Amino acid sequence: MQSGLKKKLLVAAVSLGFAMAAPVAGMAADTIKLGVAGAQSGDLASYGLPTVKAAELVVAMYNAKGGINGKMIELLIEDDVCKPEVATNTATKLVTDGVHVVLGHICSGATKAALPIYKEAGVVVMSPSATNPDLTQSGDYPNFFRTIASDDAQAQTEVDFAINVIGAKKIAVIHDKGDYGKGLAEFAKKFIQESGKAEVVLFEGVTPGAVDYTAIVQKIKRKGADAVIFGGYHPEASKIVSMMKKKRLKITFISDDGVKDDTFIKVAGKNAEGVYASGPNDNSANPLSTAAIDAHKKEYNEDPGAFFENAYSAALALLNAIEKAGSTDMADIVKALQTETVATPVGNIHFDTRGDAVGVGFAMYVVKDGAYVEVK
């Protein structure tokens, strides 16, 4: 037994060594080829490199156990510099090298450009970071999955909360005219209208830094709104919340990640009490998350970078699906991704029919006694 284990470890170490030294050298024919594509050089390398490291850690772990169904896992790492025109070449190269599944790409634009090539070749792709809503919602890419919530998921969380939990019927949607705030507000407006359960009574932008928001607060009151959804950052949010209090307007204030910041509570003080804000799910209590980060620190002597946990989870989900499906056929893998729940650093996830991870996304928090607590 012991010597068998040692042998396996040796094989794992050797295969990993090969994988890192010469990713495309091609090992024995009988390996599972996991492609990793994304920005690994250039301006956005800091977004792509943590994914490579996550893949290396997960693959090392699997190979140490003896691979999947007796097959070792081989990494094929390709750089796309986050450019759509490079990404198509990257994808073609990976497909030519016989990749089975791909972890990537990192940027939404590059991912969108590469997807048709993978689709043609029947390769499942899972991104840790591409948030463009269309990638899953258009239905064009049945081979695409992701372990990060899409851009509109936050607005969806806020709207669901406002309508189903608060029971709001008339919602005022206010934003700060910025890319982030206005983008969120537009999604929120769309989702409220689509729900049919509430109406948008006001949709307006305020000028950030203005000395006084009395007029907009009076307008919110005039429109009879029973909840406000604000898209923007905390300085405006605290001014509006304080002004609502001063004008004796008692309605629910719901905002976003830009407001889920301790500075908001510090500045708005007692007026912050009862304000709701959405924010990413908190993974810090998840032992798998801690374990993944510790493994990274041990291996590379530094804290992991952007999207590391999402990438780690995506690699786990992909390999788990291959293991459960017992095959590398696209149809089998897709089925396994949708039906098999896998424990990952971002939670216990499986995927919906569009390719978004169920269980990954945003939670609602409320200010209670001077701190944000999750609304259960």
Partner 1 sequence: MDYFIELLFAGLTRGSIYALIALGYTMVYGIIGLINFAHGEIYMIGAFTSFIVATVLSIYGFPLLAIVIIAAVAAAVWSSAYGFTVEKLAYRPLRKAPRLAPLISAIGMSIFLQNYVLLAQTSDFLPFPELIPEFAFMEPVAHIVGSSDMVILVTTAIVMIALTCLIKFTKIGKAMRATAQDKTMAVLVGVNVDRVISATFIIGSALAAIGGLLIASHIGQINFYIGFLAGIKAFTAAVLGGIGSIPGAVLGSLVLGLTESFATGYISSDYEDVFAFSLLVLILIFKPSGLLGKTETKKV
Segment near partner 1 (CB under 8 A); pick from 130-138, 154-162, 232-240, 361-369 = 232-240
Q: Identify whether the C-beta of residue 274 lies closer than 8 Å to the C-beta of residue 366.
A: yes
Determine, following the binding rule CB under 8 A, whether residue 204 of this chain makes contact with partner 1.
yes
| 3-state secondary structure at position 96 | helix
370 contributes a contact to partner 1 by CB under 8 A: no
Contact (CB, 8 A) for 328 and 296: no
Phi, psi of 248 (to 5 degrees): 55, 40
Q: Does 111 bind partner 1 (CB under 8 A)?
A: no
Residues 168-197 that bind partner 1 (CB under 8 A): 177
Residue whose C-alpha is closest to residue 247's, from 271, 218, 220: 218
Nearer to partner 1, 259 or 314 (CB): 259
The residue count of the chain comes to 376
Handedness of CA 153, 159, 161, 164 (dihedral sign): negative
Helical axes 45-64 vs 2-21, angle rounded to 10°: 160
The residue among 194 and 212 lying less far from partner 1, judged by its C-beta, is: 212
**Part of the chain binding partner 1 (CB under 8 A), chosen from 5-13, 21-29, 213-221, 287-295:** 213-221
**Which one of residues 26, 122, 205, 280 is an interface residue with partner 1 (CB under 8 A)?**
205
Q: Does 274 contact partner 1 by CB under 8 A?
A: no
Contact 184, 231 (CB under 8 A): yes
Is there binding between residue 234 and partner 1 (CB under 8 A)?
yes
- Provide the 8-state DSSP code for 356: B
Residue 62: enclosing H or E segment and its boundaries? helix 45-64
Minimum Å distance from CB 192 to partner 1?
A: 18
Is residue 242 close enough to count as binding partner 1 by CB under 8 A?
Answer: yes
> Is residue 211 close enough to count as binding partner 1 by CB under 8 A?
yes
Q: Which of residues 248-267 bind partner 1 (CB under 8 A)?
A: 248-249, 263, 266-267
Applying CB under 8 A, among 138, 207, 348, 353 the residue interacting with partner 1 is 207
Q: Which amino acid is at 161?
A: F
Backbone angles phi, psi at 237, to 5 degrees: -60, -45
Nearer to partner 1, 216 or 346 (CB): 216
Task: Please identify, among the stretches 135-143, 233-241, 287-295, 302-310, the one whose residues bind partner 1 according to the rule CB under 8 A.
Answer: 233-241
Which two three-digit tokens encode residue 126? 């899972």
Cβ neighbour number for residue 306 with a 10 Å cutoff:
17
In the list 96, 193, 214, 353, the residue contacting partner 1 (rule: CB under 8 A) is: 214
Among 153, 216, 229, 316, binds partner 1 (CB under 8 A): 216
Exactly one of 194, 212, 302, 369 binds partner 1 (CB under 8 A); that residue is: 212
Please answer whether residues 168 and 192 qualify as being in contact, where contact means their C-beta atoms are separated by less than 8 angstroms: no
Which one of 239, 251, 321, 337 is in contact with partner 1 (CB under 8 A)?
A: 239
Nearer Cβ to partner 1, position 112 or 260?
260
CA distance 224 to 201: 8
Joined together, the tokens standing for residue 2 give 């012991």
> How buried is residue 256: exposed, middle or buried, by Cβ count under 10 Å (0-12/13-18/19+)?
buried
- By the criterion CB under 8 A, which residues form the site for partner 1? 177, 204-207, 209-212, 214-216, 218-219, 221-222, 234-235, 238-239, 242, 246-249, 263, 266-269, 271
